[in-house]
Homo-oligomer: A and B are copies of this chain.
Amino acid sequence: MTNAEINEKVASLLRKAGQRYSPVRRRLVTVLRLAGKPLTNNQIIASDDSLVQSSVYRNLNVLEEVGAVTRIATNDEFARFELAEHITEHHHHIICNTCGDIADFSLPPNIEKSLDLSLRKAAKKASFDIDNHRLDVLGTCTSCQ
């Protein structure tokens, strides 16, 4: 998805929720797009000095509510954020247990498909309404080995 398409999409999501695509929100989307991986609040602020902590949190929450951004909980103490999957594409995360850093990866389509099928079955058994799934690999990244 091109830069312009992403902005269009986000703007549309915000509009539908009666929210503006304000300057801070634009900056957040830009930072997340350029990063290409989930970022913590601090990493976001470090990427763009004009951003203020409370505004970042506030606007990430707004973007999350309208479905433009996804919050990721890792086992370290910080929440991380990335652009939602319908803006980027379905993918998974490799998480470093030592430094908490995250990289993206994808699964071969056939594996993803059979996995998805099994998950549907499991959810059905639990009479659970399924939205999505997430699959993370936990380990140690190159620089922490």
**A interface residue numbers (CB < 8 A to B):** 71-75, 92, 94, 96-97, 103, 105-108, 111, 114-115, 118-119, 122-123, 125-142, 145
**A74 (CB) vs chain B CBs: closest residue:** B73
Complexed CA–CA distance, A97 and B66 (Å): 15
- Assess the B134–A133 pair: CB atoms within 8 A: no
Copies in the complex: 2
> A3: shortest Cβ distance to chain B, in Å?
26
> A129: shortest Cβ distance to chain B, in Å?
4
- Assess the B135–A135 pair: CB atoms within 8 A: yes
Given contacts A73-B74, A103-B126, A105-B122, contact A135 B134 (CB under 8 A): yes
- Assess the A128–B139 pair: CB atoms within 8 A: yes
- Among A92, A108, A119, A145, the most chain B Cβ lie within 10 Å of the Cβ of A119
Complexed CA–CA distance, A75 and B65 (Å): 13
Complexed CA–CA distance, A119 and B140 (Å): 14
